[in-house]
Amino acid sequence: MVMRKIVVFLLLCLFGGWILSSQAQSFDNLWKQVEQADKQSLPQTAIKLTDNIFRKAEAEKNSPQMLKAYIRQAKYQENLTPDSFYVHLADIEHWANTAPVPLDRAILHSFVAEIYADYAYRNSWQLRNSKKIADDEQLTDIREWSSNMFEQKVLEHTRMALKDSLLLLETSSKTYIPFVVTNKTSDYYGHDMYHLLTLRGTNALSRLLSDENSTVPAEAYSLFHTMIDTYRKRNNQDAVLLATLDSMSWNRNAIVSWNRNNELAEETLNRLIAENESREICA
């Protein structure tokens, strides 16, 4: 009896030690293991590792790591079982609607908008040949949707992502590493989350199947206009210039897609660059 207790005790110590060792591993080390499994084409191993990262991040309330782990895990699962995409979409949309932290909600809404836009883009041929149907909340299977329903979803989540613009302006994108990757352009915006989510939103809108009667161009114009005005009020001329150039680029691509004359846009773009050629950003 005593020997049995000793054996059980030793097993518990070994098992407990393994758990503590796993929990003590840094996220960097865990991600290195994921990359190694990826290189060796071991999707099941990668799924288990990303699940471990997610649980560790959840316990530590580390939202950026949670989101990165969830997305990577979903990618591996969808490669094995493509239909799991629809389950993941429903899960992450629910997460976006219920996350207790406002910044997490904003980023999740932005990501959901991107997912819907990408899905519509990948299936643009089928959507182009489908009949427009009225919005129906009971129609939950997106494989049955028409293009206008995707448009409404992307608009809805983009607006929700940018709802608390003041919070986004005052929050550094560096706080959401590793999900957010900063670059040189981000320097000119002061690394705030506002410009990041606005540009993600306009990028999502650009991927939608659209026509001249769509509300997408007006929504994109409104987002850019608000963005430009916001940075002008903050006396950030570099951000104003970048946002203006992005706005013109977005509109120019829309014009080309509708086969309109874009000479005026080209002239305006060239004039804007010439007026700011002395700035470092135009070097």
Q: Is there a domain that residue 272 lies in? A: yes
The answer to whether the pTM exceeds 0.75 is: yes
Q: Is there a domain that residue 199 lies in? A: yes
Q: Find, among 41, 42, 180, the residue nearest to 111 by Cα.
A: 180
Cα 118 to chain center, whole Å? Answer: 11
Domain range spanning residue 251? 134-282
As a whole number, mean pLDDT of residues 30-49 equals: 96
As a whole number, mean pLDDT of residues 62-88 equals: 96
What pLDDT shows up at residue 13?
Answer: 42
Q: Is there a domain that residue 70 lies in? A: no
* Share of residues in the chain with pLDDT > 70 (%): 77
pLDDT, tens digit (0-9, with 9 covering 90-100), for 189-228 = 999 999 999 999 999 999 986 666 688 999 999 999 999 9
- The conformation of residue 132, written as its DSSP 8-state character, comes to P
Q: Which residue has the higher pLDDT, 278 or 227?
A: 227
Which conformational region is residue 222 in: left (phi greater than 0), alpha (psi within -120 to 50 degrees), or beta?
alpha
CA separation, residue 190 to residues 187, 234, 245 (Å): 5, 11, 17
Q: Find, among 85, 192, 210, the residue nearest to 155 by Cα.
A: 210
Q: Which residue has the higher pLDDT, 276 or 223?
A: 223
For residue 39, the surrounding DSSP H or E stretch is helix 27-39
For the cut 80, the answer to whether the pLDDT of residue 277 exceeds it is no
- The conformation of residue 12, written as its DSSP 8-state character, comes to H
What pLDDT shows up at residue 135?
Answer: 59
Q: Is there a domain that residue 49 lies in? A: no
Q: Is there a domain that residue 203 lies in? A: yes
Lowest mean pLDDT among 12-16, 70-74, 160-164: 12-16
Q: Find, among 150, 158, 155, the residue nearest to 119 by Cα.
A: 150
Cα–Cα dist 274/241, whole Å: 12
Q: Which residue has the higher pLDDT, 266 or 60?
A: 60
Lowest mean pLDDT among 16-30, 101-115, 179-193, 257-271: 257-271
Band of residue 140 on the pLDDT scale cut at 50, 70, 90:
confident
What pLDDT shows up at residue 3?
Answer: 45
Q: Is the Cβ–Cβ distance between 265 and 252 less than 8 Å? A: yes
What pLDDT shows up at residue 269?
Answer: 62
For the cut 90, the answer to whether the pLDDT of residue 138 exceeds it is no
Q: Which residue has the higher pLDDT, 7 or 45?
A: 45
As a whole number, mean pLDDT of residues 132-159 equals: 84
- The conformation of residue 260, written as its DSSP 8-state character, comes to -
Q: Find, among 163, 166, 186, the residue nearest to 176 by Cα.
A: 186
pLDDT, tens digit (0-9, with 9 covering 90-100), for 237-249 = 999 999 999 998 8
Q: Is the Cβ–Cβ distance between 65 and 178 less than 8 Å? A: yes
Cα–Cα dist 77/85, whole Å: 8
Q: Is the dihedral of CA 90, 96, 97, 98 positive or negative?
A: positive
What pLDDT shows up at residue 49?
Answer: 97
Helix then strand count (H, E) for the chain reads 14, 0
Bridge partners, residue 262, by sequence: none
Domain count along the chain: 1
For the cut 80, the answer to whether the pLDDT of residue 12 exceeds it is no
> Across all residues in the chain, what is the average pLDDT?
84
Q: Which residue has the higher pLDDT, 259 or 282?
A: 282
What pLDDT shows up at residue 10?
Answer: 40
Q: Is there a domain that residue 66 lies in? A: no
Token output for 31: 């991600």
